[in-house]
Structure 1
Amino acid sequence: MKFAIALLAGPQDPAARSALSFAQAVLAGGHQISRLFFYRDAVHLASSLAVHPQDEADLARQWRDFICDNQLDAVVCIAAALRRGVLNEAEAYRWERPAANSGEPWELSGLGQWVDAMQTADRAVTFGT
């Protein structure tokens, strides 16, 4: 079974950890993830500049490692990312910002990527509000 997973919750929201646990269980169960879509405050997970206290888990790193280790398609909504200051090299250059804070494995793209994922997946699951 193919799953499309959308995450709307930011790193501090328990839904972000639940989504990661669900995605790990999907793959452990022998299923596929056609696309991960990060929207609203979930785009903060794609920022490489957040620093977490030493006694807290780095959820952004856990997501990044999970995506890389499993070679998953991870799309970050470009409109939500730009509003929240999450930029890759191309967008930093385009908007004349001094630096980028996002890159591999994240892809900045539009909401159409989520629509496409829902059309190709057997199940679409959303975490967060």
Structure 2
Amino acid sequence: MSLRYSLVVNGGVYGSQSARNAYCFANALIERGHTLVSVFFYQDGVTNGNSLTVPANDEFDLVAAWQTLAHDHDVRLETCVAASLRRGVVGKAEAQLHQLDGTNLADDFTQAGLGALAEALLTQDRVVQF
């Protein structure tokens, strides 16, 4: 039986295994025929959407991996807008609203409110938090 999933990622892009474990879990879901609808990045997890992250040559590029996953499997990547702004991850709309000079939200990521997380909780078969 195929299920619809959403993930919640609270761990930063680097510094803990949380986000990498979520990414591996996401791929396992898809390989087993399930549908991954969205990944909601919250708290330090919003750093997964920072386009200015530059890992060392011998490290896994988790931001690029999330982007590829989203592109290849039509997965929504949503960063909590409030948590993002507190951590300096800024999309175009927020930069304009707050009159900031630049943006650094990675392609394929969007900024969303907690309503997007609430919708996932109500509409997906499973929501798994990392």
TM exceeding 0.5: yes
Matched, 1:85 2:91: no
Q: 2: CA distance between counterparts of 1:36 and 1:57?
A: 19
User: RCO greater where, 1 or 2, for CA within 8 Å and sep 6 or more?
Assistant: 1
How many residues align? The count is: 127
Q: CA deviation at 1:34?
A: 2.2
Gap runs ≥5 in structure 2: none
Gap runs ≥5 in structure 1: none
Provide runs of 4+ in structure 1 moved above 2 Å: none
User: Which of the residues 107, 110, 113 maps onto 2:110?
Assistant: 107
- Please name the residue that 1:30 is paired with: 33
Per-residue CA deviation, residues 49-98 of structure 1 (Å, 9 max, x unaligned), is: 11111121111111111111111111110000000111111111111111
Aligned pairs for 1:56-67 (under 5 A) are 56-67=59-70
TM-score by length of 2: 0.93
- Please name the residue that 1:44 is paired with: 47
Matched, 1:14 2:17: yes
Q: Is the CA contact 1:79–1:110 (under 8 Å) kept in the aligned structure 2? A: yes
